[in-house]
A and B are shown apart, each in its own frame.
Chain A
Amino acid sequence: MVGRDVLRPGPTNHPPGLLSGPGRGVVAITAAPARPDGTSDAHPAVQLEGITKRFPGVVANKDIGFSVARGTVHAIVGENGAGKSTLMKILYGVQRPDEGSISIGGRVVDLHSPADAIAAGIGMVFQHFQLADNFTVLENVVLGAEKLHGIGDAARREITRISDEYGLDVDPDALVDDLGVGARQRIEILKVLYRGAKIIILDEPTAVLVPQEVDELFDNLRELKSEGLTVLFISHKLDEVLSVADSITVIRRGTTVDTVDPSSVNARQLAELMVGAELPTPQTEESTVTDRVVLRIEDIVLAGAGAGRNVLDGISLTIHAGEVLGIAGVEGNGQAELVEVIMGMREPTSGLVFLGDTDISDWRTREIREAGVAYIPEDRQRHALLLEAPLWENRILGHQTEEPNVRGFIINAAGAKADTERIVKEYDVRTPSINVKAGSLSGGNQQKLIVGREMSHQPKVLVAAHPTRGVDVGAQSSIWDIIRQARRDGLAVLLISADLEELIGLSDTIEVILRGRLTGTFDPDTVTAEDLGAAMTGAAANPEETR
């Protein structure tokens, strides 16, 4: 772990005397800046030491340690799958660490449940809001905390007080259904404040916000910290982190790499810390694109629910043999639906899909898969695996009608088992046996099994949605290798990913999807992540999008 011992403000630096006793006004010896008003508390608001959490086959967190000063915004950054979410679940009492200790305000706490965390003054705002749409703000806030201020006027007064104090601008009697994303997030923040949180964890809070809302959120966060609250801010968007955080802890491969002062680093240095120098980069070799069209999509339209805008709005794509077409976009802009339309899981309102010269628009999922469309779904646990079934039954899944899994209408267990052994060996699936349940494997090994299975039926097309999401670094690089090999073998690959490095490194062409429409085509050799980012959020000047 490069640089870790040099720069990390180890908790062991504290003289033992300073850690005991509830003294106030003593200057804290931490790397984090002191409170803006010049005072500081003796104890950091949060201090983690040696946190380790193991899951089957994988160490999610290993010897994590950092401390957060009171009244600061402290960012935790790291790639997808670096272990940030596990760490936050540990801090919020959802999961218990196997080793290590958590101190809140100098006192070691043992968090068994979110209730313990709330009692210790920790509140969490999840990425996916947990609000009842058909309830008012007041009802949502008091739900589960009815004992604090009742459910009537006292609660309303308290909500208004908190809203005014921190500038949250929340109307207690508004119906949540009528509110936008930014306002909903402020309700979530208000909810944790209402429950008395002094330390607020925000998990990827900007993922769902448009730029203006991000600015508003950051104003709110500054307000919170000026009132003496502590904010833990989890993100992988480095520019945002640099603009709002007082201190940044970088996590890579499950462990703390460094804690840095944002004024002393730039985004590039931070990215290097995050990724690490030894990480393989997804790099394709010379072009293998041919002129033979394998998958063609013509003017796909998928109407939204009710009178809403179209989820997919006139999507047309052509993928040739030996070509990787990457789709970039902020999640929820129609990528998932596009994949489901191609796979026959969803009926488009209009439009056609061709496999070679064959119109497969009306085909069902099974026929499409039999015709040679391999599919790596975005959510492997929900769409690609039977978690409680053994590996060899999972090898059958999705290819129930094909050799070597069946003979006529009878399942060929022996054939499937033998082929599972082959996949396990060839694709380096780490498992003690093919009879263990799929749910017992780590994410990376589950994904390697899925990729191996999908590549085992001479596919012509590979539809890969977030193929390396949540897998460890080793599995990531082998999955990249497999996609490159598929490209060399003349497959047409549709790659959907949120990882721009992955898209740029693997694709021959990148299309940007925004609100169900393809809004730009980029050449991965010349495009930068910034260009793509701008196009994905609609920030790039695009005549089509000005209305």
Chain B
Amino acid sequence: MSTFSPRKLLLAVAAPVLALVVAFLVTSAILLLLGDPVVEVWQTILSWPKPRQLVQIVNGATVYYLSAVAVAVGFRMNLFNIGVDGQYRVAVFAGAAFAGQAWFPGPLNVLLTIVVAMVAGGLWASIAAYLKVRRGISEVISTIMLNAIATGVVQWLLLKVAVKQQGSNSISTKPIPESSQLDGLGLIPGATNKVYTLILLAVLVGALYWFVINKTRFGFDLRATGRSESAAVASGVKVPRMVVTTMIASGALAGLIGMPLLFGQDHSYGTTFQAGLGFAGIGIALLGRNHPLGIAAAALLWSFLDVQSNALQIRAGVASEVVFIIQGVILFAVVIAYELIRRADVRLEQQRVARELAATRSDAPTPEGATA
């Protein structure tokens, strides 16, 4: 009965597969109902992507991955940081404004910008942490409100520092110097575009996340708090301190979300910068069960659906927004499936333990008395 028994693996994979099947059926039903061409839609979505699209998928997944890890850190201790969206906006704005000044040469500018973004994201998240620990305000409520505030604050600040882009109505921060722009990695043959260099950052973050959560004392305390706050308190965990630390860590990670986009694509923060990444992270973390590899798979799937949906309008005559339905149904189904499978797992193990104990003690008298 090792930790990696086939039964556990099967249970872990069963839920997402089930969710995908349900999403397939539900979406098909909706398409049928609206008289849309079901077959063409699936043909478009499920066709093998071209090299250029593969790069887009990997790039999209990189950003999603960082977002989902930021959310997952909180999830592991039952802390619902809904504010990743606001935190990453504040952070990427701060980072872009800093990088645009070009106070430091090339790579050092990149490194320090990342630090600035993490600090900004962490600070923004610390507001919610303070409110929760000192004032007992649910982090769900405060982070949602802080998202709205972040949008306003960033827009207002953007107007102050913005430079007008040539030939466009949009405004942005001062572009980062060319020496600090990251060209990308030619990982996929045959593609004209390149994979974000900062995919390396995502890999590093994933490895660190796994190590800290599973292997360190801090991670144990964090998981213990998530599983049972009362038991964690009795075991000596200072829960308020854990809340503050975890919230700030989550915000700092949220600060990384915009970095691949900033250095690898946009080179400035402006009104056209990609939005909604923080909310996608919540779903991807759920789908990936907060597991570093699970999140990677979920992020790739999300990005795959995003990219494949672009051609829907042209090839199937269906609005690409249909992909939101698919993503939404997957999430619904997976949350339900995980809970069902968790309960089944608990029940099965209890029965198995009882059975194995009964077998090893068939010569001993039956234990009697009651459970608590």
- Report A387 CB to chain B, min CB distance, Å: 7
Given known contacts A57-B357, A383-B230, A383-B231, is B346 in contact with A439 (CB within 8 Å)? yes
Q: How far is the CA of A60 from the CA of B368 in the complex (A)?
A: 6
Inter-subunit contact B354/A57 (CB<8 Å):
yes
Q: Are B234 and A58 in contact (CB under 8 A)?
A: no
Bound form: Cα–Cα A381–B223 in Å: 16
Q: Are A380 and B372 in contact (CB under 8 A)?
A: yes
A441 at the interface (CB under 8 A from B): yes
A385 lies within 8 A of B367 (CB): no
Binds A, one of B37-45, B47-55, B210-218, B327-335: B210-218
B1 touching A58, Cβ below 8 Å:
no
Of the listed stretches A114-122, A147-155, A394-402, name the one at the interface; the rest are far from the partner chain. Answer: A394-402
Asked if B217 contacts A406 (CB within 8 A), the reply is yes
Q: Is the CB of A383 within 8 A of B234?
A: yes
Which of A11-19, A36-44, A161-169, A466-474 binds B?
Answer: A466-474
Asked if A432 contacts B351 (CB within 8 A), the reply is no
Which chain B positions have C-beta within 8 A of A370?
236
- Which parts of A251-279 form the interface with B (CB within 8 Å)? 253-255
- Interface contact tally, CB-CB below 8 A: 170
Q: A364-B236, A366-B236 are in contact. Are A54 and B228 (CB under 8 A)?
A: no
- Tell yes or no: B163 within 8 A of A by CB: no
Partner of A411, one of B216, B238, B366: B216
Main secondary structure of the interface of B (DSSP, over half): helix
B234 touches A365 (CB 8 A): yes
Interface string of B223-266 (1 = CB under 8 A from A): 11001101101111110000000000000000000000000000
Taking the complex as formed, is B339 at the interface, i.e. its CB lies under 8 A from any CB of chain A? no
**A316 interface residue per 8 A CB criterion:** no
Task: With CB as the reference atom, state the residue of chain A lying closest to B211.
Answer: A410
Chain A CB within 10 Å, residue with most, of B219, B234, B238: B234
Cα distance, A435 to B366, chains bound together (Å): 24
Compute how far the CA of A61 lies from the CA of B370 in the bound complex, rounded to whole angstroms: 7
CA–CA, A173 and B26, complex, Å:
51
Asked if B369 contacts A82 (CB within 8 A), the reply is: yes
Do residues A387 and B350 form an inter-chain contact, with CB atoms below 8 A? no
User: Are A60 and B231 in contact, with the CB atoms below 8 A?
Assistant: no
Q: Report which of B231, B356, B369 forms a contact with A385, defined as CB distance below 8 A.
A: B231
Residue in A59, A368, A386 whose CB lies within 8 Å of B367: A59
Q: Are B349 and A440 interface neighbours, CB within 8 A?
A: yes
Q: Is the CB of A382 within 8 A of B369?
A: no
CA distance A470 to B357 in the complex (A): 20
A310→B228 CA distance, assembly (Å): 29
Kindly report which residue of chain A lies nearest to residue B368, judged by CB atoms. A253
**Docked complex: B184-214 residues within 8 A CB-CB of A:** 214
Chain B residues with CB below 8 A from A396, complex form: 220
**In the assembled complex, which residues on chain B have CB atoms less than 8 Å from the CB atom of A172?**
none
Asked whether A318 is an interface residue with its Cβ less than 8 Å from the other chain, the reply is no
Chain B residues within 8 Å of chain A by Cβ, number: 41
For B356, give its contact among A54, A253, A432, A435 (CB under 8 Å).
Answer: A432
Please state if B224 and A431 are interface contacts (CB–CB under 8 Å): no
Q: Hey, which chain A residues are within 8 Å of B346, CB to CB? A: 388, 437, 439-440
**Which of chain B's residues have a CB closer than 8 A to the CB of A443?**
370-372
Q: Which residues on A sit within 8 Å (CB–CB) of B361?
A: 430
Minimum CB–CB distance for A248 against chain B, Å: 19
**Interface 1/0s, chain A 342-362, versus B by CB < 8 A?**
010100000000000000000
Q: Give the distance in Å from the alpha carbon of A383 to the alpha carbon of B232 in the complex.
A: 7
B1, B236, B368, B371: the one within 8 Å of A436 (CB): B1
Which A-chain residue is minimally distant from B225 (CB atoms)? A386
Q: Is the CB of B217 within 8 A of A432?
A: no
Interchain CB contact under 8 A, A469 and B372: yes
Q: How far is the CB of B134 from chain A (nearest CB, A)?
A: 16
Q: B315-355: which residues lie under 8 A (CB-CB) from chain A?
A: 346, 349-354
**Do A345 and B231 touch across chains, with their CB atoms under 8 A apart?**
no
Closest-CB distance, A350 to chain B (whole angstroms): 22
Q: Is the CB of A322 closer than 8 A to any CB of chain B?
A: no
User: Are B235 and A472 touching (Cβ within 8 A)?
Assistant: no
Judged by a CB distance under 8 angstroms, whether A283 is at the interface is no
Measured between beta carbons, the chain A residues less than 8 angstroms from B371 are 55, 58, 60, 86, 442-443, 470
Contacts of B169 in A (CB 8 A): none
B272 within 8 A of A: no
Given A383-B234, A432-B357, do A473 and B369 touch, yes or no (CB 8 Å)? yes
Q: Does A233 contact B (CB under 8 A)?
A: no
Most chain A CB atoms below 10 A, which of B349, B353, B369, B370: B370
* Residues on the A chain within 8 Å of B351, using CB: 56
B2 at the A/B interface (Cβ < 8 Å)?
yes
On whether A433 and B1 interact (CB within 8 A), knowing A343-B234, A442-B367, the answer reads: yes
Residues of B within 8 A of A444 (CB): 367, 369
Interface contact B370-A85, CB-CB below 8 Å: yes
Given the interface contacts A386-B228, A411-B216, A432-B1, does A400 sit within 8 Å of B221 by beta carbon? yes
- Among the listed B3, B219, B224, B350, which residue makes an inter-chain contact with A386, where contact means beta carbons less than 8 Å apart? B224
Least Cβ distance of A85 to chain B in Å?
7
Q: Is A296 part of the binding interface, using a Cβ–Cβ cutoff of 8 Å?
A: no
A345 and B234 within 8 A (CB): yes
A254 contact set on B, CB distance < 8 A: 368-370
Q: Would you call A62 an interface residue if the criterion is a C-beta within 8 Å of the partner chain's C-beta atoms?
A: yes
With a cutoff of 8 Å between Cβ atoms, the chain B residues found around residue A85 in the complex are: 370
Check if B368 sits within 8 Å of A472, measured CB to CB.
Answer: yes
Residue among B219, B237, B361, B368 with the most chain A CB within 10 A?
A: B368
Q: A253-B368, A253-B369 are in contact. Are A435 and B357 (CB under 8 A)?
A: no
B:1-28 near A, CB below 8 Å: 1-3
Contact B353 A431 (CB under 8 A): yes
Instruction: Determine the residue in chain A with the shortest Cβ distance to B234.
Output: A383
Interface centre among B2, B214, B224, B235 (most CB of A within 10 A): B235
A372 to B240, CA, bound (A): 24
**B interface vs A, CB < 8 Å?**
1-3, 214-221, 223-224, 227-228, 230-231, 233-238, 346, 349-354, 356-357, 360-361, 366-372
Residue pairs across A and B with Cβ atoms less than 8 A apart, 11 shown, are A58-B369, A62-B368, A81-B369, A83-B370, A382-B231, A398-B236, A411-B219, A430-B367, A435-B2, A440-B346, A472-B369
Identify the 6 closest CB pairs spanning chains A and B, nearest first.
A366-B236, A472-B369, A470-B372, A432-B356, A398-B235, A443-B372
Given contacts A386-B231, A471-B372, 18 further A-B contacts (CB under 8 A): A54-B354, A57-B354, A57-B367, A253-B368, A366-B236, A366-B237, A381-B372, A382-B228, A390-B3, A393-B220, A397-B231, A399-B235, A430-B361, A440-B346, A440-B349, A440-B352, A440-B353, A444-B367
